[in-house]
Amino acid sequence: MRRACPRHLGMPASCNDADALRCHSEDVPLRCLIVDDSDHFKEAARLLLEADGVAVVGVASTIAEALGRFGELRPDVVLVDVDLGEENGFDLARRLHDAGDGEPPPVILISTYEEQDFAELIATSPAVAFLSKPHLSGRAIDEILRGADA
Amino acid sequence: MHARLLSLLLRASRPPLLWGILTGAACVAAETFIAFALVQVAPSNALDVVYLLGVLVVAYLWGMWLGVIVAVASAVVYDFFQVPPLHQVTIFSSWTWVPLLVFLVVGVLVSAAAALMRSLVVEAEERRREADLDARTARLLLRAEHLRAALPVVARRLAQGLGLPFLAIELGPVGDDPRHTALPLTDDGAGIGTLVVPAGLPAAMTRRLRERVVPSLEAVLVAARDREAISTALAASRDELARIAEEQAALRRVATLVARGVSPTEIFGAVAHEMGLIVNADHTAIERYEPDRTVVLVGSWSASDRGAPPPVGSRRPIRESGLSALVLWTGQPGRMAAKEGAAGELDGWAGDEQVVSAVASPIVVEARLWGVMIAFFRAPEPQPDDVEERMRDFTELVATAISNAEARDELAASRARVVAASDETRHRIERDLHDGAQQRLVSLGLQLRMAETVVPPDLPKLKEQLSHTAEGLTLVLEDLRELSRGIHPAILSKGGLGPALKMLARRSAVPVELDVRVDGRLPERVEVAVYYIVSECLTNVAKHAQASTVYVEVEAAGDAARVGVRDNGKGGADPGRGSGLIGLIDRVQALGGAIEVTSPIGHGTTLTAVIPVGES
């Protein structure tokens, strides 16, 4: 997957899933940081997203680790699990939002829970969207980001 | 007339002798005239009987000797006027002296009989008066509340009755003196008092006093003394009964408080008060021994307003020489005078209050010396021996109250632990489900989807199979989520009460007006309780109330969280019916809170709960 951008429609050349995805002009893969405390999930998500053409540049399990990774990697998007063991994904979303010296990165909250389980918290979070884990895909992320940009 | 005659006949003293001589002469003259009148109808030698009447009268009233003289005079006059030869005394000259002598002998006998009768009549009268007097004396003495106070009145009456110018009854021994004679009054040889009468009384009176007055007075005095002793004993036992009743009432009042399970602080106050009144103390204090050799004042009372004792809750080190220390070392009740060290109790407050003595009783809770109850007295005289005994009843009640309160606290703590453990377990199961099965299933789903994408296009069946399996997995995940939600609301742990209640409100079948005023997070047990209260209420409203709106208010202020859930439905809900509500009541009570449901028919149902926040 290339960076999805509505300004560059009709340039599908190198996309894996050319029918569904609209890609960035530079053909640069979307750089993604996954924050989750489940190793199983991180691995499965990485494989899935890589297959979808998203570059998973890093993974983290805790807020501190995530903030560090974010500082190093400056990913295009951060997938944050709502549940980080003792820690809280909503807190991380807020801190990521507040941390950046430049424009805050788009944060997508992910969870095995459904969106309605956390609707009130999601509504007040600076995250751009919530994505239920079973529905995770490069395409879903792309759609969210395009929705956020629009 | 009759009374005067009677009094004349019953008079103890004789009329003057002159009156007797004149009466005798008059009688003889009158009898002579009667004899002259009767001589026409009766033989003259029977008329001497007429003269016996005068003899009888005079002998009765003036004694035998004057009677004999009248008899002799009557014989001479009779001889002169009635015995032939008439108008001359023939007694010495003819045989007529024989009937005259007979008359004389009869006259003398009549005189003697009359005199004897008189003395008997007089004595009978005297005895009657004495009996009256005895009865009056007995009545006065036996009716008197205090024997000593009644004695002067009795003495005066007795003096009047006996015709004495002076008479006194003393309860102690009195020595003779020139003007008075002392007659000892005894009971079986033991002196019980003295009868004091003027000296030099006639022998008859003295004898009468000794033989009759003294014995009856002794008997009455003994009876009166016994009666007084019985009265005193009765009064004492009545006072004792009243005191016991008062004490029992006080104990009952305290016991009622204990049974009602009011707070120990309130019990300490009540006991300090009641005990103070029962033992007549000026101040009372209840202290608790602390492990660090200090005591904490947990209750106190003062009979008067002045000199308020140190505040309840104040702590001070145990003074080695003090009463609290004594009880702590001995484990027994103790008493102490101010100068021995009691004055230093309560940081010298007892000394400032001019306390003279103090009595202390240990408070033993389940074989453990818990504290001490002290009564302070200003009165200089020593306190009765039974003060400790009477204090013990109160200390036992205090011990029961403390023991109950501790048991209650333990029970509450254990209930709270049960609730907390159950919450903890549910939370953990939910977490385990989430972190384990759910995460695995999600990962598996993702892998399946990935596998699906790499299936070659010439194997559509496999692709379809994989897709089908992935969908099945999603359904399983949804079931699991539903299960998790029922076990523990994830949003509560993640976001606290506000978001969790908003979620409940959003999901409620009946529209909810929600007002949550909670800053920050509350202890988890409180959040869970509030969540379940609102959740259960919303379920009940949807099921039974037929309401169009539910108003939910949650406020955490100070040391408690308050929940109010009110609907505009049909009311008439029975709090005892729904097992869900009973579970809530248990949960709230386990947290030391209270829950109340009012549901008047036609006016909706209102539930209010207050849950202490305390330290988590």
Tell me the domain boundaries of chain B.
2-124, 159-260, 261-488, 490-612
pLDDT confidence bin for A6, thresholds 50/70/90: very low
Ranges under pLDDT 70 in chain B? 1, 12, 44-45, 90-96, 306-309, 341-351, 575-579, 615-616
- Nearest neighbour of B491 by CB, restricted to A38, A48, A121: A121
Average pLDDT rounded to a whole number, residues A133-150: 83
Q: Which residues contact B417 (CB under 8 A, 6 or more apart)?
A: none
Q: What is the DSSP string of B5-53?
A: HHHHHH-SSPPPHHHHHHHHHHHHHHHHHHHHHHTTTS-GGGTHHHHHH
A5, A50, A73, B228, B342 from A56: Cα distances, Å: 19, 7, 11, 113, 83
Return the CATH class of domain A30-135. alpha beta
Residue A21 predicted with pLDDT over 80: no
SS3 content of chain A, % helix, strand, coil (to 5): 40, 20, 35
Largest pairwise CA distance in chain B: 204
Sign of CA dihedral B392, B395, B400, B403: negative
Closest residue to A38, CB basis, from B435, B491, B506: B435
* pLDDT at residue A8, rounded to an integer: 38
Residue A1 to residue B236: CA distance in whole angstroms:
109
The Cα of A71 is separated from the nearest Cα of chain B by a number of Å equal to 26
- pLDDT value at position B280? 87
Q: Which residues of B, range 296-355, sit inside 8 Å of A by Cβ?
A: none
Q: How far is residue B434's CA from residue B438's CA, in Å, rounded to a whole number? A: 5
Output the six-digit token pair for B196: 């004091």
Tokens 């008359």 locate to B103
Structure tokens at A85: 């063991």
| Residue A2 DSSP symbol | B
Condensed to tens digits (0 to 9), the pLDDT of residues A33-69 reads 999 988 888 888 898 888 888 899 999 988 889 888 8
CB B418 within 8 A of CB B410: no
Q: Answer whether A82's CB lies under 8 Å from A125's CB.
A: no
A109 and A88 in contact (C-beta within 8 Å)? no
Question: Which of B450, B478, B506 faces A51 most closely, judged by CB atoms?
Answer: B450
Question: What number does CATH give the domain B490-612?
Answer: 3.30.565.10
The crossing angle, in degrees rounded to 10, of helices A39-51 and B439-454 is 20
**Which has more pLDDT, B214 or A11?**
B214
Tokens of B280: 């007549």
What DSSP state is assigned to residue B88? S
For chain A, which residues make up each domain, given as ranges? 30-135
Predicted local confidence at residue B390, as pLDDT: 84
Dihedrals φ, ψ of A60, to 5°?
-145, 155
Task: Check: CB of residue B594 under 8 Å from CB of residue B571.
Answer: no
Interface with chain A: mutation pick from B476, B488, B494, highest number of A CBs within 10 Å: B494
CA atoms within 13 A on the CB side of B245: 6
How far is the alpha carbon of A137 from chain B, nearest alpha carbon, in Å? 9
| Tens digits of residue pLDDT in B261-285 | 888 888 888 888 888 888 888 888 8
Looking at CATH, the fold of the domain delimited by B261-488 is given as Beta-Lactamase (3.30.450)
- CA-based nearest residue in chain B for residue A85: B435
pLDDT for residue B345: 67
Asked whether the CA dihedral B59, B62, B67, B73 is positive or negative, the reply is: negative
Which residue bears the tokens 């929600």? B514
Among residues B582, B586, B597, which one has the least CA distance to residue B423? Answer: B586
Nearest by CB: A121 against B447, B450, B499: B499
Q: ipTM score here? A: 0.78
From B454, B474, B502, residue closest to A134, measured CB to CB: B474
pLDDT of residue B577: 65
Q: How far is CA A21 from CA A8, A29, A32, A36, A140, in A?
A: 11, 12, 17, 26, 10
Strands B594-598 and B550-557: unpaired
What span, in angstroms and rounded, lies between the C-alpha atoms of B415 and B412?
A: 5
Does the N-terminal peptide bond of residue B85 adopt cis geometry, omega within 30 degrees of 0? yes
| Cross-strand bridge partners of residue B610 | B562, B594
Report the distance separating Cα B81 and Cα B93, nearest Å.
Answer: 16
Helix B264-278 × helix B214-260 angle, to 10°:
170
Q: Do B442 and A134 touch (CB under 8 A)?
A: yes
Greatest extent of chain A over all pairs of C-alpha atoms, in Å: 45
Q: How sure is the predictor about A18, in pLDDT bands with cuts at 50, 70 and 90?
A: very low
pLDDT of residue A19 exceeding 60: no
The residue type found at B316 is R
Residue A133 in contact with residue B442, Cβ under 8 Å?
yes
For β-strands B190-198 and B283-289, DSSP reports them as unpaired
What is the C-alpha separation between B70 and B31, in angstroms, rounded?
12
Task: Indicate which of A120, A135, A137, A141 best probes the interface with B, i.e. most B CBs within 10 Å of its own CB.
Answer: A120
**Does the beta carbon of B21 lie under 8 angstroms from any beta carbon of chain A?**
no
Question: B434, B442, B514: which to substitute to probe chain A, counting the most A Cβ within 10 Å?
Answer: B442
- Structure tokens that stand for B52 in this block: 């016996």
pLDDT classification of A3: cutoffs 50, 70, 90:
very low
Given this model, what pLDDT does residue A4 score?
Answer: 43
Residue tagged 């306390």 (tokens): B355
How many other β-carbons are positioned within 10 Å of the β-carbon of residue B118? Answer: 21
Asked if residue A23 has pLDDT above 60, the reply is: no
Given a cut of 50, whether residue A132 has pLDDT beyond it is: yes
Query: B-chain residues within 8 Å CB-CB of A118?
Result: 490-491, 494-495, 499
